[in-house]
Amino acid sequence: MKPTKLLPDTYQLYGKVDFAENKKLLIILNVLSIIIFIIAGLSMWYIGIYLRPDIFPTEIKSIIWSIPALLLVLIALPLMIITHELLHGVVFWMFTKERPVYGVKSWCAFAGAPDWYLNRNQHLIAALAPLVVISLVGILLLPITPNILIPALFVFVVTNASGAIGDMYVSALLLQLHNTVLVKDTGVEMSIFEQHNVS
């Protein structure tokens, strides 16, 4: 089904996901994000050893603690958040041909398509795009990135993976549902609608 602004009569609300309102879920996801951070960090470290044996694992330690590298890391963090949300928005725009909304709520940045209903697979692409694209591009850039930028690239990729825990949770939830479900994502709240006659 193509994205639509009108919910078909055969659909009814299945459930909602609102991280800001569900404090218990938010705590669980924050704990899981720490685990993802460790896994992503170790993965990038060993990928670095394979792709950049010239600086991993010895030279990187001295580079990390240089003032320029630390400043670049601080710049990388807000850039990662902006890039992450822009990628969500680009996918929303690709499907809807309408400008997505961006904002910040409860210290969390978001992108959404509040007037649109996307099918499950379309929303999966929108949800996972930042994780997949930034991870792949980061790994591809690693062999050609100047030494001084390696820590910033490392932090960019790893914190993005950790910050995508909400996207991973939503994707895991949607994968358990029929591919005909429709999703309305305001950026703050996600509503899932199920077709009445789906067996």
Average pLDDT, the chain: 93
* pTM recorded for the entire structure: 0.91
The answer to whether 71 and 152 have CB atoms below 8 angstroms apart is no
Hey, how many other C-beta atoms are within 10 angstroms of the C-beta on 28?
13
Average pLDDT over residues 166-177: 96
Q: Give the confidence band of 199 by pLDDT, cuts at 50, 70, 90.
A: low
Q: CA 96 to CA 10: how far, in whole Å?
A: 22
pLDDT 10s digits, 55-92 = 887 778 778 888 998 999 999 999 999 999 999 999 99
Q: CA 49 to CA 28: how far, in whole Å?
A: 32
Q: CA 129 to CA 123: how far, in whole Å?
A: 10
Q: CA 185 to CA 93: how far, in whole Å?
A: 13
Q: What distances in angstroms separate CA 175 from CA 121, 178, 179, 188, 198, one per listed residue?
A: 9, 8, 8, 20, 15
The pLDDT of residue 197 is above 60:
yes
The more confident residue out of 137 and 69 is 137
Q: Give the confidence band of 158 by pLDDT, cuts at 50, 70, 90.
A: very high
Average pLDDT over residues 85-102: 97
pLDDT 10s digits, 12-61 = 999 999 987 888 998 999 999 999 999 999 999 999 999 998 888 777 87
For 191, the 3-state DSSP assignment is strand
